[in-house]
Chain A
C-alpha cells in the first residue's frame, strides 16, 4: 500500500521534560519521525515543552510549538492552523512516549480530534486502551489463549486485599496508566501489602491497580517489532535482560541479541508477539512486547505490549542499526514495509530482521547519591536516570566497555583499590538487586564463590556468570605478572575480554595505563573498527557507524590476501571529532546532546568531516545519520586515543559534551592533540578555583571570599576566615555534586569528613555563602575579538538552590540595568582574559546591588539550548564555527525574537522515590526542564512561582 495522500500535515507530540522513565530517547524518535515525514513531503508540526531537545529546533519541523503538553495547547495549535489556512490533517502520538499517548487519548476523550477533523495515525484509541489498560490487556491475552500471570484488577483497597489473599505472595501491584512503573511494587508478604496497595491506587490516574502473581526469577525478554497496515510484521531486535524478572527493564542490564535463548523458545516468543500485534487493532509502527520465560519449562507468559516507540526501541535502533522510528513514521502514513528500503545497506529491503555479529550491552546509570534516603533496591519502578550501551565482539568485551562508559570511575568490571566485603556478606547482598550488583557478582567470583551459588542467589542465567568468570580467570592470571613479564598472549586475551589498559595496570599494580598501551602497541595489539550494518556483513553497507574490537589479522599464503579487518577507512578530508557527554545523569543530560548535534552540523557546513564519539544510546548525536562518522564508543581516554590515532583529526571539540568531554582536555593537551576553541590552560583557569580567583582579583572583579583545604582543621580555619555560612564542595565536579551549605564548625566537620570519605585526596573548596542574594547567569560567545551576550538569566529562587534547579527567567526581570550592565562587563573581561574561543557560561550572585562572580564554565552550558530556543537564534551553530575559527561574530546577525519572557522551569522526578523529600539546595536534583513563555510579569504562573521561591530551600 503506498503512502496515504490525504495526509499533508502531521502533528507530532513530544514527550516533554526529561523525567525518570522518559528521557531523551523520545527526542531521538521524535526527530527521526519528523525528518522521515518531511522526506515524504509531509508538513510537520511539533509540540514539546522541552527546550533542550533537537526535535524542537526550527530545522526539524515546519513549525515548532514550545508549549506545555496540555489539551489546551493542542486546541490552540489546531485552531491557529485552521485560521492560517494550514489545517493539520493528522496526529502521530506514538513518538512521544506515554506522555504523548496519554495526551492524545485525553484529547480524544474530549472530542478534540474529531472537532478539528484530525485523524490519529499510527495507532487508534482502541489499540491504546487494549495495550495500556492492564485488565483489558489481560482479558485480551486470555481470549487469545496466551498465558499471563494470574491476576485480578482492584479498584479499591478492600478488593486489593481480597485478591492478594487469593493469589498468594509474592505478588506485584501494578497501577494502570502510569509511566515507568510509577507507584508499582513487589509485595513479598502480608506486612507490606497495605502500603503498596495504597501507593498503587494513588499513583494510577483512574485509581486502579492490578494485583498479580510475581514470577520472580523467570527470565525476561523484549521484542522490538514493526508492523505495517497490511499486517506485515518483523522483529527488529530481541533483547535479553541480564537481570531476571523483578527488575524494571529500564533498570536492568540488557543484552542483544538474546544470548541464552534456544530457537524453540525464540520462535514461540516471535509467533506470540506477531499474533498479539496482528490482533491489536489499527496499528502501524514500532511496538515493544515483553515476555517472561520459565527456565524450567521454557514456557512463556506475556508481560506487556507498548504500541509506540520506546526507550527499548531507541536502544534496538542503535543496537541493530535499524532506525525504527524513522520507518515507523513512514508506516504511519500508509507505506508497507516491503515498499521501503533498508536504510543502512540502501540496496536491500526494510522488511527483514537484522542479524547481529556483535553483542551489545546496555547498563543503566543511577543517581541515588542525589536522593538521600531513597530506597536503592531495584524493582518495578524505574530509578535510573540514564544508560550506556557498549558494542563488542563478545559479551565480556561489551560488558567491560559498558563499565568504562559509565563514568563512575570504573575502569572495567571490578572495583580496584577498594576493600571488598566478606564472601557471606556479598552473597547476601547480591540477593537483592541494587545498582552495583554486577560488580558484586564479580567480587564474589573473585573470592571463589561458585557460579551455581551465584546463579541461585541472583536468578541470573548461569551463562552470563560463566562469562564473568572468564574475566575473573584472566584477571587472576594477569595479577601474577608485572609490566615487563606480562606475556603478549595473555595481554591479547585480556584485550579480547575487554580489559582496559588502566585496569590491567591496576591488576598488576605495576606500570601505568600508558605503559600498558605502549606495550600492546609494540605487540601489534591494536583496536580495529567494525561496522554496525544490520546484516552481519551479508550485504555491503554504506553507513559509517563503527565500534571497536580486537581481532587477530589474517595471514596469507601463496598469494592469498590479507583480509580487511579494520572497516573504518580514514578519508583524506579535514576532520574534527566531537566528544559526547556519555550517560545522562542529573546535571548533565539531553542539553549536551543538543549541543553536540549542532556542533556536528556546523562542522559539516564548514566543509570538514564531523566525527562523533559517544556511548549513550538515547541520543540524537549517536544517530548514524547525524555525523559523517559515528564511533559508538566509551567517552574514555583509551578508546578516544585510539580513535584519534586512527583518524588523525585536525582537532577535538570538548566544549559541547559537558564536563565529561571537558575532563579529557588535559590529556589531549599532554598528547599534543589540538583542542578546537578555548585552550586547555584557559579551561583549567576557569575550573581551578585558586587560579580563577587570582584572575578575578587581577581583573578587580568581586567574588565571595574563599579558601581551599585538604583536612578538617584547614577547612575550619578557612571557614572562620571567610565567615559562615559557607559553601563546601569538592573541586572538579558536576551539578554541585556533594555540595553543602553549612553554618558552623560542627556541620562543616561532618561535611568535610563525608567528602573526603567519598573522594579521598580531593581539594575541598570553601566559599563564603552570600545569604539571601539574587542569582543570575550569562551565556556568551567570545571569538578572540568580539564578545556577544547570548542571554542574561535571572533566577527566581534565591542563592543556595543549584542553578539547574532554579527557575531562570530570560531576560532578567528584576535586576537593575546597572547590575545587568556590570554583569555583562565582568563577563566580557573574563572571556577576554581567558581568551575564550567559543562558549562561556558565568554565574553571578547579586547582593545589595553588588555583583559577585561565582563561577565560570568555559563550555556549552545547560542553558545554551534554552536561550537558542527562546531567542530563535542558532547559537550552537554559531559558537561551533567560532571555535573552529571559520567565522567571527561579526559574520552573524543576532535578532532576538523573544516577546516578553521565557522561563526555564526545572522538572523533578521525586515521585519515583517515595520517602524522599523535595528539598532543594546547592546540589542539583532536577532531571529535566521545560520552557514557558510569558507575556509579562503579571502572568499568574510566574506570580505563583515568585511567591513560592524559597519554599523548598534547604541545606
Chain B
C-alpha cells in the first residue's frame, strides 16, 4: 500500500478536518449529509437521490466486503464525495468484483478518512445541512473556501433531470396486462425490479416527458420515482403528476414521487433540518396498525399541518421517531405514496407489500 495523502474537509461554517485521502485525488463539493446504515454502502453510493451530496458514513468501517457489479442502484456512483472513519482497501467477500478504493477511483469520487465522523454528524444534527468541500490536492484554506462558495445551495435546486434516463426503455413481460409508466427522476434499479418481479411490464421515461407521451404507452398505472433535489423547484413534475391524477389510474409515488404527489394536491414541502438517511427508521402503518423498519433517504419533507388540513388526502404512515408524514393516499383517487423506500436495497424489506398493493390496485382497476 502506498502512503495515503492528506485530505482536507472544509464545511461552509468554517469547520476544518484534516484526514487521509481515499479514492480519487482531487477536489469535490456538495451538501454534506450522513447515513446511519451499517450495510449496503455500494447501494447507497449509487442511489441517484444522493446526487450532489457529500456523504458521511456513520458506520466506522466501510468497504469491508468490496463492491459487486450487481449491487448498484444506477449505472454510476451518485454521491459527490465520501467521508468515513475507516475506509477499507482490503475486502473479503468472495463474490466481490473489486475493492472500494478502486471503485471510488474509477468513478472519480474524492474521499477522506480518519475523520471524527461522529463529531461531524452531531454538528450537522445541531447546525443543519450545509455545503462542504473535500480536497486532496489543495491545501490553501482560502482557495478551498472560494471553491466551496461556488457549490450551489440545495434548496431550490432542480436535480432530477440531471440523473434521469436520457432515453426511454422498457422492462418486463411485454404481454403483461399490468402496464406501468415509470417517471424516472433518478429511479433506483431495485424499484424497477420490484415492479417487474410482480409481473408488470414497465416503460421508463425521462424526467421532462409530457403526459401525452406517457399516454401513448397506454399505461394501466403510473409510478413516480425517487430522486434528488428540491421537489418544489420541479414545476414540470408537479404539473405532470397533476395531469396523471386526472387520468384516474392507479398511481404510486416513492420519496420525491411522494413529495410531488403532495405538491400536486396543494400540500407544500420543506427542507428538513438534516434529513433522514439510514436503514432503521421506524414507521407505523396507520391503516393496519403494524410497524415496519424502513430505508430512508430524504432531505425534504411534506408539511404535516397542510396534510392534515387537506380534505382529499389521508395520512397512512407516520414516522415513530419524529412523527413526520411517511405515507399518504388520496381519498378520491387510486393514488398513494410513501416518503421512504419500500424497495430498500439496502435495508430492511418490511415494506415490500406496498408494491403488491400497487399491482393489486392496477389489477382491480
| Chain A residues numbered 519-567 whose CB sits less than 8 Å from any CB in chain B | 530, 535-540, 551-565, 567
Question: Is residue A349 within 8 Å, beta carbon to beta carbon, of the partner chain?
Answer: yes
| CB of B138, distance to nearest CB on chain A (Å) | 13
Residues in B neighbouring A558, C-beta threshold 8 A: 14, 141, 145
A554 lies within 8 A of B116 (CB): yes
Chain A proximity mask over B90-122: 1 for CB below 8 Å, otherwise 0:
111111000000000000000000111111111
Question: Is residue A259 within 8 Å, beta carbon to beta carbon, of the partner chain?
Answer: yes
Question: Is residue B43 within 8 Å, beta carbon to beta carbon, of the partner chain?
Answer: yes
Interface size class of A (residues with CB under 8 A): 35 or more
Residues in A neighbouring B122, C-beta threshold 8 A: 537, 563-564, 567
Chain A proximity mask over B244-282: 1 for CB below 8 Å, otherwise 0:
000000000000000000000000000000000011111
A352 lies within 8 A of B282 (CB): yes
| CB of A954, distance to nearest CB on chain B (Å) | 49
Q: What is the chain B residue whose CB lies nearest that of A295?
A: B94
Residues in A neighbouring B348, C-beta threshold 8 A: 267, 270, 353
Question: Is residue A463 within 8 Å, beta carbon to beta carbon, of the partner chain?
Answer: yes
| CB of B299, distance to nearest CB on chain A (Å) | 14
Residues in A neighbouring B13, C-beta threshold 8 A: 559-561
Please report whether the interface of chain A is mostly helix, strand, loop or mixed according to DSSP.
Answer: loop
| Chain B residues numbered 273-325 whose CB sits less than 8 Å from any CB in chain A | 278-282, 284, 289-291, 293, 320-322
Residues in A neighbouring B93, C-beta threshold 8 A: 260, 262
Residues in A neighbouring B349, C-beta threshold 8 A: 267, 270-271
Question: Is residue B210 within 8 Å, beta carbon to beta carbon, of the partner chain?
Answer: no
Q: A351-B282, A351-B320, A352-B281 are in contact. Are A357 and B16 (CB under 8 A)?
A: no
Of B88, B125, B291, most buried by chain A (CB within 10 Å of CB) is B291
| CB of B145, distance to nearest CB on chain A (Å) | 7
B65 lies within 8 A of A463 (CB): yes
Chain A proximity mask over B67-88: 1 for CB below 8 Å, otherwise 0:
0100100000000000001101
B119 lies within 8 A of A351 (CB): no
A496 lies within 8 A of B347 (CB): no
- Selected from A234, A348, A463, A552, the residue in CB contact (under 8 A) with B91 is A463
A563 lies within 8 A of B291 (CB): no
Question: Is residue B219 within 8 Å, beta carbon to beta carbon, of the partner chain?
Answer: no
Q: A552-B18, A563-B123 are in contact. Are A349 and B320 (CB under 8 A)?
A: yes
- Selected from B14, B94, B293, the residue in CB contact (under 8 A) with A353 is B293
Residues in B neighbouring A551, C-beta threshold 8 A: 116, 118-119
Q: A270-B348, A558-B14 are in contact. Are A352 and B293 (CB under 8 A)?
A: yes
| Chain B residues numbered 34-74 whose CB sits less than 8 Å from any CB in chain A | 34, 36-40, 43, 58-61, 64-65, 68, 71
Q: What is the chain A residue whose CB lies nearest that of B280?
A: A353
Question: Is residue A337 within 8 Å, beta carbon to beta carbon, of the partner chain?
Answer: yes
| CB of A9, distance to nearest CB on chain B (Å) | 29
- Selected from A466, A553, A559, the residue in CB contact (under 8 A) with B14 is A559
Q: A267-B344, A554-B17 are in contact. Are A357 and B71 (CB under 8 A)?
A: no
Residues in B neighbouring A266, C-beta threshold 8 A: 39-40, 346
Q: A260-B92, A352-B293 are in contact. Are A552 and B116 (CB under 8 A)?
A: yes
Question: Is residue A77 within 8 Å, beta carbon to beta carbon, of the partner chain?
Answer: no
Q: A338-B282, A394-B86, A535-B36 are in contact. Are A231 and B119 (CB under 8 A)?
A: no
Residues in A neighbouring B141, C-beta threshold 8 A: 557-558
Q: What is the chain B residue whose CB lies nearest that of A493?
A: B114
Instruction: A886 to B95: give the CA distance in the assembly, Å.
Output: 64
Question: Is residue B10 within 8 Å, beta carbon to beta carbon, of the partner chain?
Answer: yes
Question: Is residue B15 within 8 Å, beta carbon to beta carbon, of the partner chain?
Answer: yes
Q: What is the chain A residue whose CB lies nearest that of B322?
A: A348
Interface size class of B (residues with CB under 8 A): 35 or more
Question: Is residue A898 within 8 Å, beta carbon to beta carbon, of the partner chain?
Answer: no
A359 lies within 8 A of B14 (CB): no
A537 lies within 8 A of B94 (CB): no
Residues in B neighbouring A141, C-beta threshold 8 A: none
Instruction: A358 to B117: give the CA distance in the assembly, Å.
Output: 11
Instruction: A540 to B79: give the CA distance in the assembly, Å.
Output: 26
| Chain A residues numbered 660-707 whose CB sits less than 8 Å from any CB in chain B | none
Question: Is residue A921 within 8 Å, beta carbon to beta carbon, of the partner chain?
Answer: no
Residues in B neighbouring A466, C-beta threshold 8 A: 88, 90, 92
- Selected from B36, B43, B65, B145, the residue in CB contact (under 8 A) with A355 is B36
| CB of B244, distance to nearest CB on chain A (Å) | 32
Residues in B neighbouring A232, C-beta threshold 8 A: 290-291
Q: A264-B71, A393-B85 are in contact. Are A338 and B344 (CB under 8 A)?
A: no
Q: A551-B119, A563-B123 are in contact. Are A267 and B68 (CB under 8 A)?
A: no
| Chain B residues numbered 1-51 whose CB sits less than 8 Å from any CB in chain A | 10-11, 13-19, 34, 36-40, 43
- Selected from B16, B90, B346, the residue in CB contact (under 8 A) with A557 is B16
Q: A257-B59, A351-B320, A355-B59 are in contact. Are A263 and B71 (CB under 8 A)?
A: yes
| CB of B334, distance to nearest CB on chain A (Å) | 28
- Selected from A538, A557, A562, the residue in CB contact (under 8 A) with B125 is A538
Question: Is residue A951 within 8 Å, beta carbon to beta carbon, of the partner chain?
Answer: no
| CB of B33, distance to nearest CB on chain A (Å) | 11
| CB of B67, distance to nearest CB on chain A (Å) | 10
A355 lies within 8 A of B92 (CB): no
B291 lies within 8 A of A351 (CB): yes
Give the 5 A-B residue pairs with the shortest CB-CB distance, closest first: A560-B14, A263-B40, A349-B320, A263-B346, A463-B92
Given contacts A554-B116, A560-B13, 12 further A-B contacts (CB under 8 A): A231-B290, A260-B92, A262-B65, A263-B40, A352-B280, A355-B38, A356-B38, A394-B86, A537-B118, A552-B116, A557-B16, A559-B14
Could you list some 9 contacts between A and B, CB below 8 A?
A: A231-B290, A352-B280, A352-B320, A394-B86, A551-B119, A552-B19, A560-B13, A560-B15, A565-B119
- Chain A residues in the interface with B (C-beta under 8 A): 230-232, 234-235, 238, 257-264, 266-267, 270-271, 274, 295-296, 298, 336-338, 347-349, 351-359, 393-395, 461-463, 466, 496, 530, 535-540, 551-565, 567
